[in-house]
Amino acid sequence: MNANQKEVIEGMRKLITKLTEADTAYYKHDDLLMTDREYDRKMDQLRSLEEESGIILSGSPTQKVSGEILEELVSVRHTKPMLSADKTKSVDELVKFAGGRDVVLSWKMDGLTLVLRYEDGALQQAITRGREGIIGEDVTHTVRKFDNVPLAIPVKEPIEVRGEGVISWENFEKINLRLEEPYGHPRNLASGSTRKLNAAEAGKRHLEFAAFELVTDRQMDTKAEQLAFMEQLGFLVVPYIRIPSADDAKIRQAVAEMKPEEFAYPVDGLILEQDDIVYGKSLGSTGHHENRLMALKWEDELYETKFLRLETAVTRNGMVSLTGIFESVEIGGTEVSRAYLHNLDIFEKLSLGQGDTIQVYKANMIIPQIAENQTKSGTEKIPSTCPCCGGSLQVHKTSGGTRQLFCENPNCAAKLVQKFVHFCDKTRMDIEGLSEKTLEKFISMGWIRNFGDLYALEQYREEIIRTEGFGEKSFARLQASIDKSRHCTLNQFIAGMGIPMVGRSAGRIISRHFGGDWNAFEQAVRDGFDFTVLPDFGETMHNNIYQWYADEEAAKLWRPLLEHIIFEKENATMSTDNTTFAGKTIVATGKLQNYTRDEIQMKITSLGAKAASSVSKKTDYLIAGEKAGSKLAKAQQLGVRILTEQEFEEMLAE
């Protein structure tokens, strides 16, 4: 063996090690050690070395379909190997592959490949592709929780439906917001969710199944016929275009019609398949792929730009995300100026610094990524403090072996997103334009640390209007809503604090007792006022108010607010003209035509009545709207007088 051959073999071994580590992290831990572009590049390098040398080492990922079995799930053997597709980045290769025959072009959806087995018309088993496409994992318990998987079909003979478990871009963004550790891509979220042992938890993830192949003894001549049959059985089928007598022009036109940026689900290419099933089978297969189909992987077009800075943000579990900001470039018709860096390892590998010349692209024509740094100044250092609370950051290793930055301050405002959501709610301080997603973004950027900061967002106006989803008009609407909420009632304030068991009803009672005066309420707390003397206040509610007021960390959140708001007395005053309901206990339930839930509560209170939330023997009236439900049934059982909304208003008029 000469020196050059030794060098080639050593290079192959290094590539195999890196690719295997990436596969393990991706398939077993749903983690990302390298970008898709880098993975494909290393795989291409390995294939090239194997072809040039004629040597293929054991364990080479070019000889098997990637995948790993989780120890906690049962292994299942596939009825036939689930091989991959040969890949190309050239449309010319697709034309050559078609050879003028009828073909079918479809999306190569980017999720977790699954096999669904049906017997006697019922779903019996769901299996992942798994190791080498031969042995997968039984995930029937979670697949039954998918949004669109038919549990029964009108076919009695045994069949298998193969397809992809996916999550739409829209659901990916919504789900990621409520996860403790957000995912970098829908494919990882789909994979991790499907492998969950807790089926109920997986059921919250809005997973979907898109079918692309039918395994059956039923005679079918074409792929298009097979896809149409699966649609008839109730399956969502991967969108496709049938191209008869496919020539160069027809294939290029069909490829041009497939626009990934407009598609609801993540994709990583296109699949071209021979329509004639018998002919396709006659083409045979290799140990890696079937010759009847070919995948088109888009050529990533690189764009040169200048790196500006690193942007950090904190998620609600304390993980600090890293985003590269660069001079704006147009890619695929949109302006791109930022790319998420998945972990600390990728950040360090790029050696970024202000002014560096970098190359960027859109992975799968969707997700902006930094491909490489040509100058590598390395002047941009790993952040040491949390952008939200200023606390020190720690480096943690994930289960997949990658490193992430974390803020470990339990009182970091980024971990208190739900408190801000509660405070801004329509039934509390009523600040429109601050959704959970927007609040999480503003808090993670360090623009909001306490409730008072909500009233000082003007100082970040320029940054906010450049934030995705915002502009001049949306910021103006937000600012108007914030300014409107500066004048609030003591009831709104108390309800917005999130004091356990002290909500809107209790807030109204407190506000009425202290005349809507914050100073009177605060002085009463300082003097040891006994809140149990108030209607419906017990010992626990009394203690909760005192614990909230004495909590120094909680005070850091709400006390700065007092500098920005003006307390006003409730507009609703107790009516003296109508005594029908004075002193009565009234429950309202169901959907009312003329009142929101909060408005009917205020109306009841203004009549000198008690607005209760549950029906009991002490209830005098139940106002029942549409879909009244269990409260109506209980009122009937207890003999409580039931009023329609119209009857309630007629009694008011009297």
Residues acting as catalytic residues: 108
State the maximum Cα–Cα separation within the chain, in Å, rounded to a whole number.
106
Give first-to-last CA distance, the chain, whole Å.
106
Q: In this structure, are residues 105 and 258 in contact, taking their beta carbons and an 8 Å threshold? A: yes
Tokens read off for 299: 């050529």
Q: In this structure, are residues 643 and 654 in contact, taking their beta carbons and an 8 Å threshold? A: no
Q: List Cα–Cα distances, 76 to 81, 260, 289, 390, 530, in angstroms.
A: 12, 33, 21, 50, 65
Q: In this structure, are residues 305 and 327 in contact, taking their beta carbons and an 8 Å threshold? A: yes
- Is 57 strand, coil or helix? coil
Beta bridge partners of 109: 267
Mind giving me the DSSP string for 144-155?
TTSSS--SB-S-
Instruction: Give the relative orientation of helices 518-526 and 539-550 as an angle to the nearest 10 degrees.
Output: 100
Q: List Cα–Cα distances, 118 to 134, 150, 153, 232, 248, in angstroms.
A: 19, 10, 8, 15, 39
Q: In this structure, are residues 108 and 295 in contact, taking their beta carbons and an 8 Å threshold? A: yes
Mind giving me the DSSP string for 58-97?
TT-GGGS------TTS-EEE-SS---EEEEES-HHHHHHH
447: nearest Cα among 431, 463, 470 = 463
Q: In this structure, are residues 310 and 377 in contact, taking their beta carbons and an 8 Å threshold? A: no
- Is 484 strand, coil or helix? helix
Please name the residues in contact with 225: beta carbons below 8 A apart, sequence gap of 6 or more. Answer: none
Please name the residues in contact with 4: beta carbons below 8 A apart, sequence gap of 6 or more. Answer: none
Q: In this structure, are residues 17 and 10 in contact, taking their beta carbons and an 8 Å threshold? A: no
Instruction: Give the relative orientation of helices 436-444 and 169-178 as an angle to the nearest 10 degrees.
Output: 60
Mind giving me the DSSP string for 535-587?
TT--HHHHHHHHHHHH-HHHHHHHGGGGGT-EE---S----SS--SSTT-EEE
CB neighbourhood size of 298 (10 A) = 18
Residue with tokens 């009177």: 520
Decide the pairing of beta strands 267-274 and 240-243.
Answer: unpaired
Q: Give the distance from CA 613 to its chain's centroid.
A: 34
Tokens read off for 262: 């407009």
Local structure of residue 414 (DSSP, 8 states): G
Which spans in 351-460 are helix H? 417-424, 436-444
Strand runs (DSSP E) across 275-366, as ranges? 289-296, 303-314, 319-331, 334-341, 357-363
